[in-house]
Amino acid sequence: MGDAPVGVDIENHGRPRPIQAMAEQVCHPEEHAHLSQLPAPQAQQTFLRYWTRKEAWLKARGQGLDFGLMARLQYQDSTIRTANVASWQSNYLTLSVFGTELAAMDYDWQIPAQPICLGYGVLKPV
């Protein structure tokens, strides 16, 4: 996909998860506060965006799951030109791609049920 390491994570919405318990471990405090204000279905979809972005970042670095590091990662909206992460979501799946050269990558993702691009952003430890 590119000349630099790339990380990809995809999650199926059908698997039940203890969102609030997981959020306490892997979400930045601002993300956790945002999740706690959402209705359950929306909280799960939002959590999956947070999770897939962070896991894609770890995969690009060749790391395993590190909940402490995931909790220090924070996402900021950006443009494709400055982005290092992109996320898409459908009714069934959430997909995130992390790459330091994301804007230069040639990709054409196809996920079912009319995927929605949730935007491009910058993910970095704070």
Q: What is the pLDDT of residues 49-84, one digit of tens each?
A: 999 999 999 999 998 889 999 999 988 888 888 888
High-pLDDT (> 70) share of the chain, % = 85
pTM of the entire structure? 0.84
Q: Where are the domains of the chain?
A: 6-125
Q: How far apart are CA 28 and CA 30, in angstroms?
A: 5
CATH number of 6-125: 3.90.470.20
Is residue 49 within 8 A of residue 118, CB to CB? The reply is yes
Q: How far apart are CA 51 and CA 18, in angstroms?
A: 13
Average pLDDT over residues 116-122: 75
More confident residue, 115 or 57: 57
Q: Of 53-62, 84-93, 117-126, where does mean pLDDT reach its minimum?
A: 117-126
